[in-house]
Chain A
Amino acid sequence: MDVNRIGLKKTDYMGSKSTLCTGCGHDSITSHIITAFHQSSVDPIQVTKLSGIGCSSKTPAYFLNRAHGFNSLHGRMAPIATGVHLANRRQILIGVSGDGDTASIGLGSFAHLLRRNVPIIYICENNGVYGLTKGQFSATAESGSRAKSGAVNPYHGIDLCTVAIEMGCEFVARSFSGDARQLVPLLNLAIRHEGSAFIDVISPCITFANHEGSTRSFEAVRSHNVHLQELGFIQPQQEIKVDYPEGETQVIDLPDGSHFVLRKLLAAEHDVTRRDLALQRLEEAKSRGEFLTGLFYWNKDSVPLSERLNLIDHPLALLGEETRPPRAALDEILSRFE
């Protein structure tokens, strides 16, 4: 049965037809977003979609047609989102950005969004390449990787997950565009996270970075992709019995009654509540030349920006003349200038 808890079909979560290259990893991510929002029974009207500029930033047009969307400026999705959140704290924000948007022109904005803990599901569709301008390196491209033109990248590649953890982000994960089994549960969890939820999604560019020498071709990612955990997400209303072997799973209860299950596949324990471990795992994987995926760090008691600023519960956007202080206030202020 295709109808979710609030009576919406999966088609109610669709968007316009994609104009990206056929087979683009970004389109897979779009369909995982649709699946997750449908599974989580989020009313699309309560969602605001945001993006910057680039291939990835076009994708919010391809999902959740009933949600307001804002395809904004290159590198400025983060501050635009900050403004939207503070104007209407009831909206659930999902931002789709790329590695050019997030790691180059908007790196500062990205860092400050996380520092402020703006509640948003921030997806970076990361391919290490500028697709729209035909194949230049982005700042996440690994040193030594090769562009389609043959040029070799001489610079250090930025690991956005490491950056996110350093910036105080309390939900940091990485996945792969083709991995529905991992990405959909991560999205379901991110929807329930109260602060910034950052998911770096490796999404190979099939046109400009799908050749030998690119570290993000489908082949390269598939052979170097290491899962940190097996993830499962259980919706509150579903009667699914879980039976994980003792010692190998970590079930996390969420306020809405749903559960998130981490199955630890690696012998080494990973505790998602520890930032230091998260950074260590990322560094270890990097030194082995692997893309580590999974949920690296999570604080489930995250306090969003609107709460840190002590805003009233009512959206500021809906306030009118009731904000105007009384006449006595004007007199009192003016008396200081007599």
Chain B
Amino acid sequence: MPKANDFVITVATTNGSGSQSSNNILLRSLFRMGIPVGGKNLFPSNIQGLPTWFTIRVNDDGFTARKRLADIVVAMNPQTAVQDFDLVKAGGYVILNSDIKLDESKVRGDVQLIKVPFKEIVTPVSDSVKLRKLLINMVYVGVLGELLGIPADVIDATIDHQFGDKASVIESNKKAVAAGREYARANLSDVKFPFRAESRGTQNKNRVLIDGNTASAMGLMFGGCTFVSWYPITPSSSLVESFIDLAEKYRTREGRRDFAVVQAEDELASIAMVVGAGWAGARAVTATSGPGLSLMSEAAGLAYYAEIPAVIWDVQRVGPSTGLPTRTMQGDLLSAYYLSHGDTKHVVLLPSTPAECFEFGQTALDLAEELQTLVIVLSDLDLGMNLHITDRFAYPTAPFRRGKVLTAEQVEHRGGFARYKDVDGDGIGYRTLPGTDHPLAAYFTRGTGHDETSAYSENPEVYKANMDRLSRKFATAKTLVPRPIIESGGKIGLLTFGSSLEAVREARVELAASGVKTSQLVLRALPFTDEVEKFLENHERVYVIEQNRDGQMMQILRAELPQLAGKCISVLHYDGLPLDAETVVEQVRQGERPWM
């Protein structure tokens, strides 16, 4: 008998069939029982009609990364039902919609088949054919609720919470769940179903179950973002849509907004608007994904060279080109770090949890203004669109860091200023904003070669001195970016960043159980801070875990810490699915073979 609270459910449905609500209710009911849980949606680039899968992982130890196979598959989609049998472990369970006709002689013998007549069950729930098509998905919530032992009142309360004041929706959904539960009670009581959900009380009291995009939008809203420009692109669109919804509610007074959102004509324009707004003093952000990042390249160089605060929030998807728009990858790392022609390097933030997405909202805006440059935040589809259990976000109280902006009085006191003069030795000059009320406050910004006063210059010494100052500024960035989080534990190091963390935490436990003790460094930003160098120095080998083919983080390590990069071994995952612990364990074991 497997222990309680340790199973994976995959529900196979059709895009646009209403299964999102039912999956969410199932997931949140488990969450409300205090159980650690996560939900991942594997969806097509399509509006309606193509297959989609939702996976819920329940795990008492808090490991919610993807598993390769499920314990329970709910097969609701006739198009995929045959293949869906391959998603379940040997000895697992398939709950099959009995209206799906398939050749049972060809079905695997090593799984338990539970056939449920969903259509028949849902028929008495509603007279409306249209509504029944949606409610049919609530029936499996009821069936699973009964089989797993999720109390009816928990599911009902989750439905209340989900649908708010829509009384008729609440009623029909509850009825559909009850019908499913009723059916299971009457017909499936003799099925030996080993998986149980057991309440963990108030264990999730200080946690939320949230997607990274909403968390990012919240972070930006609480972090003083006043300007957003965007061009819709999967998987970043929901970030801006959340920002709009939230800011409409919390940043509007008497119908007047203290923020502006512009849906641009393309990403060339969205980043240019951000650069214009940032130059004029607004805390400005654009959100995008790979193809958009490519289009933003020219303006990224302008922000770097003319030293203009700007933030790009890149929710990465699978490239190259249009790639797999609805799958996840950490493939934009090199593009982001070096975005644009000429010698450019950008500060990159790497959140690995929704809580960090929230925190980095303000951090990104602060760093952009302090360093007067472009900051790129690299999230990804797994972190951004899937639901992760995370600590409740702390209310931010730190003041905004606005950087070196001179007022008219300061300009007067200094008798003018030179925009790009390194007065303080940190590579960061002083700037003024348009409208600063002093005849000497203005300067002429340009992406062309310029001297300290921002005047046009093609002088070789002037050009070189300016580029060297930009290098000094990048060195200053090292002291300001979020530091890595290190957990010591062995002579072998695991270096991870972004959404890989979920799987890496789990892999470490599995590796330790088999005798491979590891330390862990969660990298949270580029450029590397000194801790990264020390971590490499202090470990015999360091596995660099990333979700791309070419080992992009490894390439940056080789470029920046060449004397230590020889210690590093790549762990790579790049099939578009979220990283799983097994992949990490397998590749680390493989790497450890010579030393075992």
A8 nearest in chain B by CB position: B439
Residues of B1-54 at the interface with A, using a CB-CB cut-off of 8 Å, are: 28, 31-32
Pick from A72, A87, A325, A334 the residue with the most CB of B within 10 Å.
A87
Q: A-B contact count, CB below 8 Å? A: 222
A residues with CB within 8 A of B: 16, 44-46, 48-49, 60-61, 65-73, 75-76, 78-84, 86-88, 90-91, 108-109, 111-112, 116, 306, 309-321, 323-325, 327, 329-330, 333-334, 337-338
Whether A80 and B273, one on each chain, are in contact in the complex, defined by CB atoms closer than 8 angstroms, is yes
Q: Does B226 contact A (CB under 8 A)?
A: yes
Q: Does B262 contact A (CB under 8 A)?
A: yes
A89 nearest in chain B by CB position: B260
B residues with CB within 8 A of A: 28, 31-32, 161, 204, 208-210, 214, 218, 221-224, 226-227, 229, 246, 250-253, 255-262, 264-266, 268-270, 272-282, 284, 298-299, 302, 392-393, 395-396, 399-400, 402, 432-439, 441-448, 455-456
Whether A324 and B442, one on each chain, are in contact in the complex, defined by CB atoms closer than 8 angstroms, is no
Whether B442 and A83, one on each chain, are in contact in the complex, defined by CB atoms closer than 8 angstroms, is no
- Expressed in whole angstroms, the Cα–Cα distance for A155 and B208 within the complex equals 60
Whether B444 and A48, one on each chain, are in contact in the complex, defined by CB atoms closer than 8 angstroms, is no
List, in ascending order, chain B residues with CB within 8 A of A111's CB: 265
21 contacting pairs across A/B (C-beta < 8 A): A44-B442, A45-B442, A68-B444, A69-B444, A70-B279, A71-B445, A71-B446, A72-B447, A82-B269, A82-B272, A83-B229, A87-B227, A87-B284, A108-B269, A309-B260, A316-B259, A316-B260, A319-B258, A323-B259, A330-B222, A338-B208
Whether A45 and B433, one on each chain, are in contact in the complex, defined by CB atoms closer than 8 angstroms, is no
With A76-B299, A310-B255 as known contacts, state yes or no: A45 contacts B280, CB within 8 Å.
Answer: no
Whether A73 and B448, one on each chain, are in contact in the complex, defined by CB atoms closer than 8 angstroms, is no
List, in ascending order, chain B residues with CB within 8 A of A338's CB: 28, 31-32, 161, 204, 208-209
Whether A334 and B258, one on each chain, are in contact in the complex, defined by CB atoms closer than 8 angstroms, is no
Pick from A83, A324, A325 the residue with the most CB of B within 10 Å.
A83
Whether B445 and A325, one on each chain, are in contact in the complex, defined by CB atoms closer than 8 angstroms, is no
Whether B260 and A306, one on each chain, are in contact in the complex, defined by CB atoms closer than 8 angstroms, is yes
B215 nearest in chain A by CB position: A337
Whether A319 and B224, one on each chain, are in contact in the complex, defined by CB atoms closer than 8 angstroms, is yes
Pick from B32, B252, B302 the residue with the most CB of A within 10 Å.
B302
- Expressed in whole angstroms, the Cα–Cα distance for A76 and B442 within the complex equals 21
Give me 8 other A-B pairs in contact (C-beta within 8 A), A87-B227, A330-B395 excluded: A70-B445, A71-B445, A80-B276, A83-B280, A84-B277, A109-B269, A312-B253, A316-B277
List, in ascending order, chain A residues with CB within 8 A of B276's CB: 70, 72, 79-84, 87
List, in ascending order, chain A residues with CB within 8 A of B31's CB: 338
Q: How many Å from the CB of B401 to the closest CB on chain A?
A: 11
Whether A321 and B260, one on each chain, are in contact in the complex, defined by CB atoms closer than 8 angstroms, is no
Whether B395 and A327, one on each chain, are in contact in the complex, defined by CB atoms closer than 8 angstroms, is yes
Whether A86 and B299, one on each chain, are in contact in the complex, defined by CB atoms closer than 8 angstroms, is no
Whether B208 and A337, one on each chain, are in contact in the complex, defined by CB atoms closer than 8 angstroms, is yes
Q: How many Å from the CB of B278 to the closest CB on chain A?
A: 7
Query: Which are the 10 A-B pairs with shortest beta-carbon distances?
Result: A83-B276, A317-B281, A83-B277, A79-B272, A87-B280, A87-B282, A80-B276, A68-B434, A79-B269, A83-B273
Q: How many Å from the CB of A158 to the closest CB on chain B?
A: 17
Whether A337 and B260, one on each chain, are in contact in the complex, defined by CB atoms closer than 8 angstroms, is no
B395 nearest in chain A by CB position: A327
B456 nearest in chain A by CB position: A61
Q: How many Å from the CB of B113 to the closest CB on chain A?
A: 36
Whether B435 and A108, one on each chain, are in contact in the complex, defined by CB atoms closer than 8 angstroms, is no
List, in ascending order, chain A residues with CB within 8 A of B433's CB: 68, 88, 317-318
List, in ascending order, chain B residues with CB within 8 A of A90's CB: 435
Our pick among B251, B252, B256, B432 for the contact of A68 (Cβ within 8 Å) is B432
